Structure 1
Amino acid sequence: MILSSLDLTQKLDTKEYNEQLEEYQLKLLRLQRKLYEKEIPLILVFEGWDASGKGGAIKRVTESLDPRGFQVHPIAAPSEDELKHHYMWRFWTQFPKKGAIGIFDRSWYGRVLVERVEGFANPEEWQRAYDEINHTEKMLNDDGAYILKFWLHISAEEQLKRFKERENNPLKNWKITKEDWRNREKRPEYEEAVEEMIRKTHSPFAPWHLIEAENKKYARIKILKTIVHTLE
């Protein structure tokens, strides 16, 4: 199993984190300028368990960038109108223009994750989605886009700890919903879906990067390093 092979004990202390955060945010800012000059679009996809730290990671990726050159797309359930189209339809206008960065907080992978597990897509629909997604990402890459996909992984125990912390924090309890608890009860089904998603949609042109996110500092730096090293 792919997920169970990850070492979730990895961590960074605060001093090391702060030093590397400043270093790699500055490098990414310089690379953002290169993307603009060379007219290369960059697509960053963030998937992961509820409470795995996607929002915090995205914040650290973007907080030192030129805000004119990126856009974050928080993906929720499709609207009534969007449901009348192919599931990829609502993402097309959100892909970045040349020289810009598009960041997806959840994505079209909902088709083979939540829609699969919750029964919003039937087996024939979500099974053919792997090829549809691969063809779409290949088409974007052939047109010049760089695509990086991140799965933020935490243990069930750490997720429970973060859920309870959110419930007890008046500044964060809006983040925890009944849906989060319900999804947690189906974790084995989601793990099966994640494993298959990674196996069937990891490619040289749109690779998955698995992020050990038990320690948020470690996860954020690994993501920044991955983006910087890929662009360099």
Structure 2
Amino acid sequence: MQKTRPPRLSDADLSKRLGKKEYFEQLIDLQAVLARIQQAFLFHGLKGVIVLEGWDAAGKGGAIRRISQALDPRSFKVWPIGAPRNYYLNRHYLLRFWERLPPQGAISAFDRSWYGRVLVERIENLTPEHRWRDAYREINDFERMLVADDTRIVKLFFHISADEQMDRFTERLRNPLKRWKLTYEDFRNREKWAETETAVDEMLARTSTDFAPWQVIAGNNKRYARIEAMKAIVARFSEGVDLSPQVLDHKTLDAAGHALDGEQDLIDSLRARTE
């Protein structure tokens, strides 16, 4: 199942940086490709799932905002995942994710995901050890079924250093518009940094598969992280997909020909592409 070595947190070069000019040039290009991918998914009936995990303040939200800017919200949905409600506590942990999977032609992004089972639930002792250990196999089976159902999966873990995280926490304390992002748990979680690293590396080792591989995003520089995340999404979602603009059917072209006076050359050129 794992023919290539799975990624590790230590693989990420946290010194990577991207200048502002290069960042905006690449951002514009990647957003344009994302828009074409969304149109292709709608036309071909494909489905896409983006899984975003990472440290607190690692930049998942900033990446999601840049992705969202490029996509029509009618077929793109972001699911922020927190602690499950009572209804889901009494049912299999994957149920609430099954209910949020995208229909044909759509893309869903999970801001935290089913991997909470082997991360926060493991670290906080919220789930018995034998159950979170079972989850590695369950998650691989779950993702294998999604891929078999023509769903493309991109899994990104945003990695930052402990020092960088504290700098971002400090910024949130100082900025009144960002304080809502900061909680008591954010500081408490830092006490379990080493334990979390162990859990993340085991998660990467056990669930990075050929059909749904993980990619660790070096996140100390926000601009670099956003671009790397978008590159990973574009690469996976565009693989083997025709991104050419949708060709109109003859019925639509016939109606357009009757309605548009003086545009016969345009209608004829579009009709030729369907033949």
Query: Which residue pairs with 1:87 in the alignment?
Result: 93
Match of 1:54 among 46, 60, 79: 60
Q: CA deviation at 1:231?
A: 2.4
Say if 2:19 is the partner of 1:13.
yes
Query: Which residue pairs with 2:206 in the alignment?
Result: 200
Say if 2:142 is the partner of 1:136.
yes
Give the partner amino acid of 1:101: I
Q: Following TM superposition, where does structure 1 have runs of at least 4 consecutive aligned residues deviating by more than 4 angstroms?
A: none
2:125 alignment partner, SS class = coil
Distance (whole Å) between structure 1 residues aligned to residue 72 and residue 180 of structure 2? 29
> Residues 40-81 of structure 1: CA distance to partner in whole angstroms, max 9, x if unpaired?
100000000000010000111111211111100000100111
Match of 2:158 among 152, 177, 195: 152
> Residues 84-143 of structure 1: CA distance to partner in whole angstroms, max 9, x if unpaired?
001111111100001100100000000000000000001001000000000000001001
> Residues 7-55 of structure 1: CA distance to partner in whole angstroms, max 9, x if unpaired?
1011110000011100110011001111111111000000000000100
Distance (whole Å) between structure 2 residues aligned to residue 153 and residue 9 of structure 1? 12
Query: Which residue pairs with 2:215 in the alignment?
Result: 209
Identity %: 51
Name the count of aligned residue pairs.
232
Match of 2:104 among 98, 103, 128: 98
Larger Rg: 2
What are the residue-to-residue correspondences of 1:150-189 with 2, within 5 Å?
150-189=156-195
Query: Which residue pairs with 2:83 in the alignment?
Result: 77
Judge conservation of contact 2:81–2:111 (CA < 8 Å) in 1. Answer: yes
Judge conservation of contact 2:57–2:168 (CA < 8 Å) in 1. Answer: yes
Q: What's the Cα RMSD here? A: 0.9
Unaligned runs of 5+ in 1: none
Distance (whole Å) between structure 2 residues aligned to residue 86 and residue 229 of structure 1? 32
Query: Which residue pairs with 2:9 in the alignment?
Result: 3
1:180 alignment partner, SS class = helix
Match of 2:115 among 104, 109, 112: 109
Query: Which residue pairs with 2:32 in the alignment?
Result: 26
Distance (whole Å) between structure 2 residues aligned to residue 4 and residue 128 of structure 1? 26
Distance (whole Å) between structure 2 residues aligned to residue 227 and residue 179 of structure 1? 30
Q: CA deviation at 1:5?
A: 2.8
Unaligned runs of 5+ in 2: 1-6, 239-275
